């Protein structure tokens, strides 16, 4: 049986990958030690997801391993060896705000952990496809130098700019800018994944995502834009907007569309390819626009507080140009827009969020 190793298996993207490949009868090895709880607190823990996956899929095995532990990783890779056909590496410290608190932790997880995964792959299953979830934060704040204009509800790039039609492509420089500590650690990992592809000829692909989302996202204030926004809308919790008049723009991609992109890469992998990935022009919104949609879905106004200071390294306007990936994999396409995504998050979580709010211990 073909084996896939998925790190961060209990997280949003990892768990979606587990469900997808379980349906294809892969033997699935999930690696996750619930560091998300350490990063963002008890309510962001994904341990319950692990239990759900183990109950649901007999071909799923969960291992409590820290990706910084190379010896532990080698034991897993050596056991399954050439049976491993695919590695999906999603485990990470994902917040640029949090990274500044503990730079050593951030770098050791994001950079050193990725190197460990690459080297284990090279030693034991070099023919496997290796997919890494990078980030658009590798471009630092270079996108903020683009010619933007202020509209009623959003910032928008000028219509005569090359990026207007499709968004930002992979040719944007990653140099001479502020990245945030998180962005720097992901740059290191990003370049290493490319290098293992180009230097060793391994089948490595990296996805530079922006806002990755879905109904099972354990959104927190420092990470998980749409999920946390909808949680605030449902529960009445105050939502903080940080800078840029609340008109900053993000494209958002549903996790199911992202995993489908992973599958297309797996079927026809390339060596050392980098892809910008997001909702593109098909699925994007500003903070103000997202709040309006949430209010429309819930039928009640949100509590919003505006903070003048923006988050360090934050983008004012980001829309991914996904045309490179689409040119390599023309059968892949996006299926869910912003309103679809927010409605699904709302419908899936509303009752549990309200129950948790009403619980005496909360």
Per DSSP bridges, beta strands 211-213 and 249-254 are parallel
User: Does pLDDT of 184 surpass 90?
Assistant: yes
What is the four-CA torsion angle of 210, 108, 242, 161, rounded to 10 degrees?
A: -40
User: Does pLDDT of 244 surpass 50?
Assistant: yes
User: Does pLDDT of 95 surpass 90?
Assistant: no
Res. 220 pLDDT band, cuts 50 70 90: confident
What percent of the chain stands above pLDDT 90? 88
> Which domains can be identified in the chain, with CATH numbers?
3-357 (3.40.50.720)
User: Does pLDDT of 279 surpass 80?
Assistant: yes
Mean pLDDT, range 133-159, rounded to an integer: 97
Res 361: pLDDT: 52
Q: Provide the token pair at 271.
A: 């060596």
Res 222: pLDDT: 63
Closest CA to 130 of 141, 142, 122, 139: 122
CA distance 60 to 32: 13
CA distance 272 to 190: 10
DSSP state of 128: S
Helices marked H in the chain: 12-22, 35-40, 47-56, 70-80, 96-99, 103-107, 113-124, 180-200, 225-235, 255-267, 287-298, 323-328, 338-358
What is the tens place of the pLDDT at every residue in 284-337? Answer: 999 999 999 999 999 999 999 999 998 877 899 999 999 999 999 999 999 999
Res 266: pLDDT: 98
Res. 339 pLDDT band, cuts 50 70 90: very high
What is the tens place of the pLDDT at every residue in 172-182? Answer: 999 999 998 99
Res. 6 pLDDT band, cuts 50 70 90: very high
Res 15: pLDDT: 96
Residue with tokens 């997801």: 49
Residue 108: count other Cβ atoms within 10 Å of its Cβ.
Answer: 17
Res. 362 pLDDT band, cuts 50 70 90: very low
Give CA separation, 189 vs 6, 183, 328, 346, in Å: 17, 10, 23, 34
Q: Provide the token pair at 40.
A: 């963002």
Res. 40 pLDDT band, cuts 50 70 90: confident
**Contact criterion met (CB below 8 Å) for 85 and 121:** no
């Amino acid at each position: 049986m073909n084996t896939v190793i998925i790190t961060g298996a209990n997280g949003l993207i990892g768990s979606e990958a587990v469900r997808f490949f379980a349906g294809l009868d892969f033997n699935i090895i999930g690696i996750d030690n619930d560091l998300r709880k350490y990063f963002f607190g008890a309510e962001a823990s994904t341990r319950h997801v692990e239990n759900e996956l183990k109950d649901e899929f007999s071909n799923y095995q969960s291992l409590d391993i820290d990706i910084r532990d190379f010896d532990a990783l080698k034991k897993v890779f050596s056991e399954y060896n050439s049976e491993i056909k695919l590695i999906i590496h999603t485990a990470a410290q994902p917040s640029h705000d949090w990274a500044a608190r503990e730079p050593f932790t951030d770098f050791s997880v994001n950079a050193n952990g990725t190197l460990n995964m690459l080297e284990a792959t090279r030693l034991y299953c070099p023919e496997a496809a290796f997919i890494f979830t990078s980030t658009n934060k590798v471009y630092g704040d270079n996108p903020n130098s683009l010619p933007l204009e202020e509209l009623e509800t959003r910032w928008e790039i000028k219509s005569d700019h090359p990026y207007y039609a499709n968004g930002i492509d992979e040719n944007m420089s990653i140099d001479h800018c502020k990245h945030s500590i998180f962005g720097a650690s992901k740059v290191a990992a990003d370049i290493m994944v490319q290098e293992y592809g180009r230097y060793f000829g391994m089948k490595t692909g990296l996805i530079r995502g922006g806002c990755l989302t879905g109904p099972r996202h354990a959104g927190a204030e420092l990470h998980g834009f749409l999920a946390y926004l909808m949680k605030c809308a449902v529960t009445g919790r105050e939502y903080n907007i940080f800078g840029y008049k609340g008109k900053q723009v993000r494209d958002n991609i549903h996790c199911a569309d992202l995993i489908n992109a992973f599958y297309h890469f797996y079927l026809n992998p390339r060596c050392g390819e980098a892809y910008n990935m997001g909702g593109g022009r098909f699925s994007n919104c500003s903070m103000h626009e997202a709040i309006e949609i949430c209010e429309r879905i819930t039928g009640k106004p949100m509590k919003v507080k505006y903070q003048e200071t923006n988050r360090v390294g934050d983008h004012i306007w980001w829309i991914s140009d996904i045309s490179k990936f689409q040119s390599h994999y023309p059968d892949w396409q996006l299926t869910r827009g912003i309103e679809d995504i927010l409605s699904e998050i709302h419908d899936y979580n509303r009752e549990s969020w309200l129950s948790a709010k009403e619980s005496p211990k909360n």
